[in-house]
């Protein structure tokens, strides 16, 4: 029996894929609802509408390849030249979003122009995650936020996926997670963010149910979501990080006006000034009595 390979969009149609997507959607809605600004961008993963709860007036979904809609038919997204910001919008997850086809390592935005960027599993699927993260740092405004989601490689899900890869070399077995991408550890990603002057604001793990197949078995282990966050919090199947871009030593200045140079002032000594003790009393200086 040959190894069965599951694709990214097929994964979100499985029971455990829907379970993961529902947790991430709830966490993203909670986080992005309180982030304010004018421009927000989601990089990749059109299966998750990461910006549906955000209230910024300009929101975009960027892709670096093919977007597969719910029907499963691939369609090529319009390039950024043909569909710029504010044009070519189409419904996505209940909202209107502008799709941009671009390289994530060369985003079509000027430096310091975006207030929020969301990367749901984007770095895992990117061939050069370091370059993408550097580009995110470039286009974010100072104090702008980046939200990242990823699969935890030290979870039960990650262990089952690695075991499936070993079985696949022997010609049998089934992958539990999508074949695309490479997992990035939680602490490893925090180190990458720290090197780019990001400050991690919050981090959270979720999806503590074991790597089982089928809706019935997932429901049986629903109690592990409550116990996992308390007893083994760092072993959740997925994690989310919220980081803030810090610019050290930055000062916001207004318009510089040239002022006239002031004349130097030198102290002039007073000649023939009596000491205070030798001055006559105030009563002797009255010209006439009362």
Task: Output the pTM of the full model.
Answer: 0.73
Whether residue 158 contacts residue 183, with contact meaning beta carbons closer than 8 Å, is answered with yes
Task: Write out the chain's pLDDT in tens, 290 residues.
Answer: 344 445 677 888 889 999 999 999 999 999 999 999 999 999 998 889 999 999 999 999 998 874 444 333 333 333 333 334 433 333 344 344 447 889 999 999 999 999 999 999 999 989 899 999 999 999 999 999 999 999 999 999 988 888 877 776 776 667 788 877 788 999 999 999 999 999 999 999 999 999 888 889 999 999 999 888 888 889 999 999 999 999 876 665 556 555 556 666 666 665 665 655 555 554 444 555 54
Nearest one of 152, 175, 178 to 232, comparing CA atoms: 152
How far apart (Å, rounded) are the C-alpha atoms in residues 109 and 84?
Answer: 11
Identify the DSSP state of 285: G
How far apart (Å, rounded) are the C-alpha atoms in residues 120 and 252?
Answer: 33
> Which residues lie closer than 8 Å to 262 by C-beta, 6 or more apart?
none
Whether residue 203 contacts residue 116, with contact meaning beta carbons closer than 8 Å, is answered with no
> Which residues lie closer than 8 Å to 227 by C-beta, 6 or more apart?
208
Could you tell me which CATH number the domain at 8-245 has? Answer: 3.40.50.150
């Amino acid at each position: 029996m040959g190894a069965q390979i599951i694709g990214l969009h097929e994964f979100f149609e499985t029971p455990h894929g829907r379970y993961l997507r529902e947790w991430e959607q709830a966490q993203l809605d909670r986080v992005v609802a309180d982030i304010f600004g004018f421009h927000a961008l989601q990089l990749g993963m059109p299966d998750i509408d990461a910006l549906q709860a955000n209230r910024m007036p300009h929101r975009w979904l960027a892709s670096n390849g093919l977007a597969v809609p719910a029907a499963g038919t691939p369609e090529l997204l319009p390039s950024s030249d043909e569909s710029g910001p504010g044009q070519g919008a189409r419904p996505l997850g209940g909202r209107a979003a502008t799709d941009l086809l671009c390289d994530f390592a060369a985003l079509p935005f000027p430096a310091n122009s975006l207030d929020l960027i969301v990367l749901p599993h984007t770095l895992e699927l990117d061939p050069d995650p370091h370059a993408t993260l550097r580009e995110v740092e470039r286009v974010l405004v100072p104090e702008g936020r980046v939200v990242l989601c990823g699969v935890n490689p030290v979870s039960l899900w990650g262990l089952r996926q690695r075991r499936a890869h070993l079985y696949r070399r022997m010609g049998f077995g089934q992958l539990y997670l999508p074949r695309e991408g490479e997992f990035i550890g939680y602490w490893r990603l925090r180190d990458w963010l720290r090197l780019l002057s990001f400050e991690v604001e919050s981090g959270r793990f979720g999806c503590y149910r074991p790597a089982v197949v089928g809706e019935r078995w997932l429901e049986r282990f629903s109690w592990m979501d409550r116990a996992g966050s308390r007893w083994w919090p760092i072993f959740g199947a997925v994690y989310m990080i919220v980081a803030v871009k810090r610019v050290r030593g930055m000062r916001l200045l207004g318009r510089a006006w040239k002022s006239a140079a002031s004349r130097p002032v030198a102290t002039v000594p007073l000649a023939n000034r009596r000491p205070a003790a030798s001055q006559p009393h105030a009563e002797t200086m009255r010209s006439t009595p009362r």
